[in-house]
A = this chain, B = another copy of it.
Amino acid sequence: MNELLIAGARRWGDAAPTDLAIRDGRIVALGAEARAQPAAATIDARGQLALPGFVDGHAHLDKTFWGEPWQPHRAGPTIADRIDNERRQMRELKLSPARQSARLLRHMVARGTTHARTHVDIGPDVGLAHLHGVMATRETHRGFIDLQIVAFPQTGVMRQPGTLDLLDAAVREGADAIGGIDPFAIDGDADGQLDGIFAIAARRGCELDIHLHERGEQGARSIGMICDRAQALGLAGKVALGHAFCLGELPPAVLEPLLARLAALDIAVMTHAPMGYLPFPPVRRLAEAGVRLFTGSDGVRDAWTPLNTGDLLERAYLIAYNSGFRDDAGLELALSMATFGGARVMRLRDYGLAAGCRADLVLVDAECAAEAVAAHPPRRLVLRHGRIVARDGAALLPQED
């Protein structure tokens, strides 16, 4: 006896609707085979499109204002202004990382996210408090979403003595990866920062996921230095870069050799298709060069920007829109970044819509994946391990507060 039969859903890539049988949280059979056994419950998908659950590969759950009164943005225009302003707002608002992360997760689940990798601030000012808060949320929400945590030195590494020890402690206490940030622009000591974080990664066997806002040649230098260390320490496949704005503004003679190195070292690149005035990686070119790509919400309604929404299907739309993609292949590439791309970064097993995969999926009113990106329609149903966790845009999680 199966637990659930989803009847008449069009899987991404399939020309016609099919049936999916679900048992023990997995897709156990498709088509006629799915109907061969009775099911305890049936959902008539009426031809809706089934997509695998979205993977938010770059979130900042600990710092969101989600659920709080509206906070007008008030930071200056530079990265340094935004870091200073954020610290000030965090001190003033005294928000609980546990509560805030739970609030935002609820919204993300409602929009179809079933897996997320979140950066969590670590530093002398906050210590490991954000890590502990988000780890608590990870426990209380284990039934609703899979969460990876990156210990993230938002305020810098070398300019904030003690940060390397905190990163190391964070991994011991349960962080899945450690981060880094702008080794030249924030720290002014690229060797120091990169040597420090790579040493921890090599010693602890954890992954690296490094924020890189540095522009132009400076960013290219940092990427080269990251490649050098990934190669020397045998960390191929264990490093990711977040933002990498510089890849959107380098001349081909500089860009192409970098892409070849990123592909050879299997270093993944995350872009959330930033606000229009910023460059961002040319994702079609990166994909052609064999560079793994993924995406994420980045900070949702926080001190950095009020504009991100935590909706990964809308994020795929923004990637397509700002990349100038109009063809189906481009729209599907954007969607793959919000699904399979993030799944590979998170090393998810059994991800997808094939028989045997975990039943993490989203139903939307669309004829095909390209239309789903173009229209990014409401999520009709979100299934996680075969259980309905959201319906018609509302999460079915217990209310936190």
Q: A interface vs B, CB < 8 Å?
A: 69-70, 72-75, 273, 275-278, 301, 305-307, 309, 317-318, 320-324, 326-328, 331, 367-368, 370-371, 374-376, 378, 393
Contact = CB atoms under 8 A, between A and B. Distances in A.
Copies of this chain present = 2
Most-contacted residue by chain B among A75, A275, A276, A323 (CB, 10 A):
A276
A355 B72 CA distance: 29
Contact of A307 (B69, B320, B378): B320
Contacts of A376: 309
A370 B307 contact: no
Contacts of A278: 324
A119 B73 CA distance: 37
Most-contacted residue by chain B among A278, A320, A323, A375 (CB, 10 A):
A375
A371 B318 CA distance: 19
Given A301-B374, A309-B374, A321-B307, A367 B70 contact: yes
Contacts of A318: 321
B323 A276 contact: yes
A70 B368 contact: yes
B374 A72 contact: no
A14 to B, nearest CB: 14
A368 B393 CA distance: 21
Nearest to A74: B327
Interface pairs A-B: 6 shortest CB-CB: A276-B322, A73-B326, A277-B324, A72-B328, A306-B374, A275-B324
Nearest to A375: B309
24 contacts: A69-B367, A70-B368, A72-B327, A72-B328, A72-B370, A73-B328, A74-B327, A75-B326, A273-B276, A275-B321, A275-B324, A276-B276, A276-B323, A276-B324, A277-B323, A277-B324, A278-B324, A301-B374, A305-B326, A306-B331, A306-B371, A307-B374, A318-B321, A378-B393
Contacts of A367: 69-70
Contacts of A370: 70, 72, 306
Contacts of A75: 326
Contacts of A317: 307
A291 to B, nearest CB: 20
